Amino acid sequence: MATPNLINTIKGSLLENFFPAGWDLEKIDRCCSGKPEEATQRQPWWNKRFLPVPCETVQEFDAKMGHEIAQTIRRTREAGKKLALILPVGPMGMYAWTVYFLKEWGIDCKHVNGFNMDEWADANGNSTPPSEVGSFQGAMEEAFYGPLGKLTVPKNQRFFATKKLLPQYPERIAALKKEGANLAVVFGIGRVCHIAFWEPHFAAEFGSVKEWKAQTHRIGAKLHPLTIEQNAITSFKSRTTLVPCYANTIGPGLFLQADWIIGGCDGVLSRGMQWQGMSFWMTLRYGTDPWVPSTFMPTLPGRLFFVNELRGPLVAECN
């Protein structure tokens, strides 16, 4: 007899109303059941200039993704254009390489306007102070802006997702694009396929995909339990009680404006364990759906760097 799985045992279980209501679990299972080489087979809805880039190790992933960010900064600098750069805190390992390449090439970032895509907050949008451990602003200053030294982004061109500054992002980015600036969005993909902290359950609030796509940001966004647990694993040494339940975040009205995307999936752990394989496969194979926000990213030009282990096969294995 086959081992019972979630799909045929979920009715009446504690998980029955746990996953986002718009998720088609059978479709998700089909997405994740392919052979490893099928994960990156081109789909009809992908942008012609969207490319998944495999990496054998996390170290290779960090270097290649960092190089792509640095190249984007370099290209716009050499073209005499401004760059609006939306940045994540997670993944993070690529920033050391971005700094390395920019310093090696002697490329300064005076043309860059940096926008942090999200920040921990309470229900009212009061964000974590930059001096506190875990602050995304503090993390960016330490990993990227600070190490660049004299080549860094000017302080008045660094924007963080506070209650005051986040609502200014749409106007600021629109003004930069009007001046001819490019918009590049760097991102990771969450366990529930969020981009930034734009969660799947927000889809229930909108009557159409068009309305959903128009949302530029949210203050005090309510996070999904799987997002909280993902961050407990990746950022808080498993200590769930330290993870905030809310965040300030950009929305699809900003990240879907990108002229170029630089995505990353590095969610492998050890002894064959991982947390990001399902999210990776869903992003590439599910088809665009507001209940799965990351599925819209392949419709944009750019690159998605990923650790090859996420291809799977995603099958049961005792570790």
pLDDT of residue 223: 98
Q: What's the rounded Cα separation, in Å, for the pair 230 and 243?
A: 10
Can you give the pTM of this predicted structure?
A: 0.97
Instruction: Using DSSP, state whether 181 is helix, strand or coil.
Output: coil
Would you give per-residue pLDDT tens digits along the chain (319 residues)? Answer: 567 889 989 999 999 999 999 999 999 999 999 999 999 999 999 999 999 999 999 999 999 999 999 999 999 999 999 999 999 999 999 999 999 999 999 999 999 999 999 999 999 999 999 988 889 999 999 999 999 999 999 999 999 999 999 999 999 999 999 999 999 999 999 999 999 999 999 999 999 999 999 999 999 999 999 999 999 999 999 999 999 999 999 999 999 999 999 999 999 998 889 999 999 999 999 999 999 999 999 999 999 999 999 999 999 887 7
- How far is CA 144 from each of CA 36, 109, 243, rounded to the nearest angstrom? 34, 11, 23
For the CA atoms of the chain, what is the radius of gyration? 19
pLDDT of residue 2: 63
Phi-psi region of 237 (alpha: psi -120 to 50; beta: other; left: phi over 0): left
Q: What's the rounded Cα separation, in Å, for the pair 169 and 171?
A: 6
Q: What's the rounded Cα separation, in Å, for the pair 5 and 14?
A: 14
Q: Quick check: 274 and 312 in contact, CB under 8 A? A: no
Say which residues have a Cβ less than 8 Å from residue 78's Cβ, sequence separation at least 6: none
Q: What's the rounded Cα separation, in Å, for the pair 176 and 84?
A: 7
- Domain at 50-311: CATH code: 3.40.50.1360
In the numeric block, which tokens belong to residue 111? 């043309």
Q: Quick check: 43 and 281 in contact, CB under 8 A? A: no
Which position has the token pair 């970032």? 109
pLDDT of residue 192: 98
Say which residues have a Cβ less than 8 Å from residue 225's Cβ, sequence separation at least 6: 18
In the numeric block, which tokens belong to residue 211? 């309305």
Q: What's the rounded Cα separation, in Å, for the pair 137 and 47?
A: 32
Evaluated on CA atoms 159, 160, 161, 163, the torsion sign reads: negative
Q: What's the rounded Cα separation, in Å, for the pair 32 and 190?
A: 16
Angle at 273 between CA 318 and CA 229, to 5 degrees: 115
Which position has the token pair 């330490």? 142
Q: What's the rounded Cα separation, in Å, for the pair 308 and 311?
A: 6
